Amino acid sequence: SREAPLSISPCPRRVLRGHHGSLTAMCWAGDGQHMATVSQNGTLFVWDAARARRVGCLALASSWMLSCAIEQSSDQLLASGG
């Protein structure tokens, strides 16, 4: 017998506003409450996702940021691009 396909209906829980340009990456911090995002406008934002508030902003050297990461034990941020 075949199982029925899983039906996923995503719905937004919070809208985080602030980036101009395409959002290219996001990652979660180890606390499960904060996240970082990078976009093609050359900014990295840190968010309190539960409250939908930006808590930090970093202007990056390049506008072509393609990825970001948060080192879980020390909360250091990494952004990389082309």
* pLDDT tens, per residue, the chain with 82 residues: 678 777 777 887 778 888 888 889 999 998 889 999 998 888 999 999 889 999 999 988 887 788 899 998 887 888 888 7
C-alpha torsion angle, residues 48, 68, 78, 18 (rounded to 10)? -50
| Tally of CA atoms within 13 A in the half-sphere of 58 that contains its CB | 16
Q: Which two tokens stand for residue 2?
A: 């075949």
Residue pair 60/76 in contact by the 8 Å Cβ criterion: no
Q: Structure pTM?
A: 0.78
